[in-house]
Structure 1
Amino acid sequence: MRKPFSYSFVRAAFAIVLINIAVHFGLGFLGLNKNFFALNVVGFVYSHYFWQVFTYMFVHGDLSHLFFNMLALMIFGTAIEKAIGSREFLLMYFVIGVCSGLFSLGVYYGFGRFLMANQIQPWTFYISLIGASGAIYGLLFAYAVFFPRSMIFIWGIIPVPAPLMVLGYAVIEFVSQFVGSSNVAHMTHLAGFAFAWLYFVIRMGVHPIRVWKDAYRR
């Protein structure tokens, strides 16, 4: 059963944005290797860099990666934080982010072990997962649950109901995971949706499908 936190609003989403920006430019200024803070099998499993499951969320590849993640965090994260309070928001954000990272790490490790058993170089051991995208996608899902009748304007023009946006992104990410190749962690994005769903069901006792049905019931 959920034990709610006392409500407070301290602009935690904004603080996370500032930390991400500071980390991005700080790593570049100090000349530090991002892979030390990124999440990968070699570092986490074999070198015992256990902090990576947390720090990977604060490391971004380039300014574009950083900008769009932080923009989404400011827009959706702030709305969610105001709705549920800063403590619940922080718990949600980091639980989803850490779980999404661990899920992806588990897949990379399992597939790498399969390759080793077949005497193939386990290239998935060397994939470095970076960025807050897993947690951000979880926030997109959460926004659609808290504000199911909200309209999201794609490219600032096309209005799309928030739940439909989540469904559309889920389909795009699923297809993208198996079609084509890129450096985008589509699997982690999908994991963000899945763990957000579990967070609502387990932690908050809320069933998203019921929320969406009730919101659009005539």
Structure 2
Amino acid sequence: MLNKHLIHLLIGANVLLFLARFALPDLDALAAQWPVRHPDYRHWQWFTAPFMHKDLLHLLFNMYGLAVFGAPLLQYWGARRFALLYFGGALAGALCYTAWQAYQIEAAADALAAAVSVSPAQFWEALTAGQTGAPAEFWRLLNTYALGASGAVFAVLAAFSLCFGETRLSLLFLPVSFPAKYFVAGLVAYEAFAQVSGFSLFGANIAHLAHIGGALCGWALAWYWLRRPRRRVLRVVK
């Protein structure tokens, strides 16, 4: 039964938490992925943030990708491997994004501490106590949180491109199609370009590193599983 309905359950959980944000205004503070230095950071956010979305379009795109590309993988691998792919991609994406964000925050804090001739530890103590100021850019970094299933969906896309590489895919409203193995590779290359250059075709506030981390996890798991197919146990009936 789980093999048949796992994708429905995942979509249902994403829709439920999306709707819950309207009823619970403080849900983002509890369930979104906050920087580890932020007062609202909690360990459970690694597991709740991938089920939250900022707006309806964000939700629809991710759930469309999950339904279309996840269904053949679920049938091909079964619920256990698909669940590992989905949650592994979500965690890998969150880890990549959060690690880079933490590096940026720590680097900015070290520079600000050096500018006022205090240690980084003293700077954080003063900042927490409200005894020192910081520029708006620093507060923007510290108060930026992540949410969404994009890391998990990119893991599904990447795995699909290895398992069904010759399937032709195209962008919406464009008549040109490409084999999945090239289409997804190009999509991830664009995410890397957007991360490095700061130029994004789809607007700002996109966690490109989360997409890249999810895709790398999806490729790694698919590559490993394709080399080690599931063992089928034959039961002998006497």
TM range (shorter): 0.7 to 0.9
Mapping of 1:85-100 within 5 angstroms? Answer: 85-100=78-93
Identify the residue that residue 167 of structure 1 maps to in structure 2. Answer: 185
Amino acid at match of 1:134: G
| Deviation of 1:29 (Å) | 2.2
> How many residues were matched structurally?
199
Query: SS at 2:177's partner residue?
Result: strand
| Deviation of 1:192 (Å) | 1.2
| Deviation of 1:205 (Å) | 6.0
How far, CA to CA, are the matches of 2:95 and 2:39 in structure 1?
Answer: 15
Amino acid at match of 1:142: A
Change (3 A) 1:11 1:129: same
CA contact (8 A) 1:11 1:78 kept: no
Question: Residue 40 in 1 paired to residue 34 in 2?
Answer: yes
| Deviation of 1:136 (Å) | 0.5
Identify the residue that residue 199 of structure 1 maps to in structure 2. Answer: 221
How far, CA to CA, are the matches of 1:206 and 1:175 in structure 2?
Answer: 31
Q: Which one of 61, 64, 67 corresponds to residue 68 of structure 1?
A: 61
Amino acid at match of 2:145: S
Gaps of 5+ in 1: 1-6, 208-218
Q: TM-score by structure 2 length?
A: 0.76
Identify the residue that residue 99 of structure 2 maps to in structure 1. Answer: 106
Query: SS at 1:128's partner residue?
Result: coil
CA RMSD in angstroms, aligned pairs only: 2.3
Q: Percent identity?
A: 24
Question: Residue 187 in 1 paired to residue 209 in 2?
Answer: yes
How far, CA to CA, are the matches of 1:18 and 1:114 in structure 2?
Answer: 40
| Deviation of 1:40 (Å) | 1.4
Alpha-carbon deviations, 1:80-126, whole Å to 9, x = none?
11110011100111011112102211111122111111006364332
| Deviation of 1:47 (Å) | 5.0
CA contact (8 A) 1:96 1:135 kept: yes
Change (3 A) 1:112 1:150: same
Larger radius of gyration between Structure 1 and Structure 2: 2
CA contact (8 A) 1:57 1:131 kept: yes
Query: SS at 2:148's partner residue?
Result: coil
Identify the residue that residue 212 of structure 1 maps to in structure 2. Answer: none
Gaps of 5+ in 2: 113-133, 229-238
How far, CA to CA, are the matches of 1:91 and 1:179 in structure 2?
Answer: 31
Identify the residue that residue 59 of structure 1 maps to in structure 2. Answer: 52
How far, CA to CA, are the matches of 2:227 and 2:88 in structure 1?
Answer: 17
Amino acid at match of 1:15: L
Question: Residue 148 in 1 paired to residue 165 in 2?
Answer: yes
| Deviation of 1:56 (Å) | 0.6
| Deviation of 1:206 (Å) | 3.8
Alpha-carbon deviations, 1:161-205, whole Å to 9, x = none?
00111121012111111233611111111111112223234x526
CA contact (8 A) 1:35 1:128 kept: no
Farther-moved stretch of structure 1 (59-68 vs 94-103): 94-103
CA contact (8 A) 2:90 2:149 kept: yes
CA contact (8 A) 1:92 1:199 kept: yes
